[in-house]
């Protein structure tokens, strides 16, 4: 029986490191949103794991909504073309929105989303991303809560996929080149 973790060359962030970091970020978020009703917006599908774990770390009142966008398809490079597959259910008017992402790579997805959300009348919009690749940035995205800055490698796990696979890995790791070559 093959084990999907055999397709990784390196583990970059372990399950335990993710858990500790989300707890740390959650304490900051609880302080910053004290007395406010926050709407967490998870960006499907990559953010599912971060959303589930971050939300359970938070001890403040919150709602969750989901936006499905995709810019990668089956490739390893961002196309820059963002498609909405599912829009929000919630009306953002007057809401304190915290966008939850697994990774900021080129930044194109989030900058597009931030622009899209800006016109919807939110009281505030911030971003929480577990991972960020500074060397891959094509556009600057203001992100208040960042878990880890990582090198510009193709990473999978903890929600991040290659061709829809590897999302169920508990750690984040570098995908072996032979898998996508
Ligand atoms: C991935 C990832 C981020 C985005 C980051 O999503 O989950 O949403 O790419 O890349 P960028 O900063 O270069 O835009 P993807 O489009 O692969 O969809 P998925 O979440 O369904 O995997
Ligand atoms: Mn995504
Ligand atoms: Mg993807």
Model pLDDT, residue 1: 82
First to last CA, the chain: 23
Under DSSP, is residue 105 helix (H, G, I), strand (E, B) or coil? coil
pLDDT tens, residue order, the chain (181 aa): 889 999 999 999 999 999 999 999 999 999 999 999 999 999 999 999 999 999 999 999 999 999 998 775 556 566 667 889 999 999 999 999 999 999 999 999 999 999 999 999 999 999 999 999 999 999 999 999 999 999 999 999 999 999 999 999 999 999 999 998 8
Cα–Cα distance, 140 to 118 (Å, whole number): 16
Cα–Cα distance, 101 to 19 (Å, whole number): 15
Cα–Cα distance, 30 to 45 (Å, whole number): 25
Fold category of 15-152 in CATH: Rossmann fold (3.40.50)
DSSP letters of 75-90? SSS--S--EEEE--SS
Q: Which residue out of 41, 43, 46 has the highest number of ligand 1 atoms within 8 Å of its CB and is therefore the one to mutate?
A: 46
Given the residues 53, 105, 161, 171, select the one marked as catalytic. 105
Q: Measure the CA dihedral 141/32/158/179, to 10°.
A: 10
**105 carries an active-site annotation:** yes
Model pLDDT, residue 73: 57
User: Ligand 1: residues within 6 Å at CB?
Assistant: 43-46, 70-72, 78, 101-109, 161
Cross-sheet strand order for the sheet of 96-104 = 83-86, 62-70, 38-44, 96-104, 124-132, 145-149
Model pLDDT, residue 71: 75
Model pLDDT, residue 2: 87
Q: Which two tokens stand for residue 118?
A: 């800006």
Q: How many residues does the chain have?
A: 181
In this structure, what are the phi and psi dihedrals at residue 168, rounded to the nearest 5 degrees? -85, 0
Model pLDDT, residue 181: 85
């Amino acid at each position: 029986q093959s084990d999907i973790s055999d397709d990784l060359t390196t583990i970059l962030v372990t399950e335990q490191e993710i858990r500790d970091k989300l707890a740390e970020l959650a304490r900051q978020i609880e302080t910053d949103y004290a007395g406010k009703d926050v709407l967490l917006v998870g960006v499907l599908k990559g953010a599912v794991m971060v959303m589930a774990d971050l939300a359970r770390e938070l001890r403040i009142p919150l709602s969750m909504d989901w936006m499905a966008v995709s810019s990668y398809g089956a490739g390893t490079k961002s196309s820059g073309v963002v498609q909405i597959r599912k829009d929000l259910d919630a009306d953002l008017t007057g809401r304190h929105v915290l966008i939850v992402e697994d990774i900021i790579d080129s930044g194109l997805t989030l900058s597009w989303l931030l622009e899209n959300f800006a016109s919807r009348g939110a009281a505030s919009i911030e971003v929480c991303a577990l991972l960020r690749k500074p060397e891959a940035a094509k556009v600057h995205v203001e992100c208040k809560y960042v878990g880890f800055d990582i090198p510009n490698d193709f990473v999978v796990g903890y929600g991040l996929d290659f061709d829809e696979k590897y999302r169920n890995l508990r750690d984040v790791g570098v995908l072996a080149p032979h898998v996508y070559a």
